[in-house]
Amino acid sequence: MKVAVLDINGKETGRKVDLSKDVFGIEPNNHAVYLDVKQYLANQRQGTHKAKERADIKGSTRKIKKQKGTGTARAGSIKSPIFRGGGRVFGPRPRNYSFKLNKNLKRLARKSALSIKAQDKAIIVLEDLNFDSPKTKQFTTLLKSLGLESKKALFVLGELNKNVYLSSRNLKSTEVITSSQLSTYKILNANRLILSEGSLAGIESNLSQ
């Protein structure tokens, strides 16, 4: 699959790159994608929720009333869940929501996500970016030239470029990562995937193993 390389002005440079069929042209595995996205979202959960149960409530432990002869149900503690201010029954407790997935499955999920973007023609290959200084205005101009000012865009670089990253940090709909940080969720969450020329070799080597 050949894709034209664009410059920072959004114009074709006359060069084309060949995207690997083993990475960008496979039959997407929807279940692998589902599991990888589910794991990513589960790992974002803090799991610090906590409700006070009967043992956590501060209060007297004396018996409220005599056991028999009142005509109502017996009650032994003011901390009982049936009373106002009592403990909660089976309330949420701190827990870890993360779970593990096989490396081969995660690799298949990322290749499936990239293939979906390739089928939707949502991949743009851009010549390597190099900003002299961090300027959001310069990055905004780049987005306009590519027609991405109103879309979620994920920029993938071959290696970390601090100036490019800082230039994009204030833009909510744009994210800049390196090829090693690529995840299934981030790929599918973006409307357009912008790959720098330098990132292609890293992506293909990581996912073709």
Q: What is the pLDDT of residues 1-38, one digit of tens each?
A: 788 888 888 888 888 888 999 999 999 999 999 999 99
Q: What is the pLDDT of residues 57-106, one digit of tens each?
A: 998 888 999 999 999 999 989 999 999 999 999 999 999 999 999 999 99
Which residues, in sequence order, are bridge partners of residue 195? 125, 156
Question: Cα-flanking dihedrals φ and ψ of residue 175, to 5°?
Answer: -140, 140
Which residues, in sequence order, are bridge partners of residue 126? 6, 196
pTM tops 0.85 = no
- Residue 32 Cα distances to 27, 185, 189, angstroms: 12, 12, 16
Give residue 130's pLDDT: 84
Give residue 11's pLDDT: 87
Domains of the chain: 2-45+98-207 (3.40.1370.10), 48-96 (no CATH)
pLDDT at 132 over 80: yes
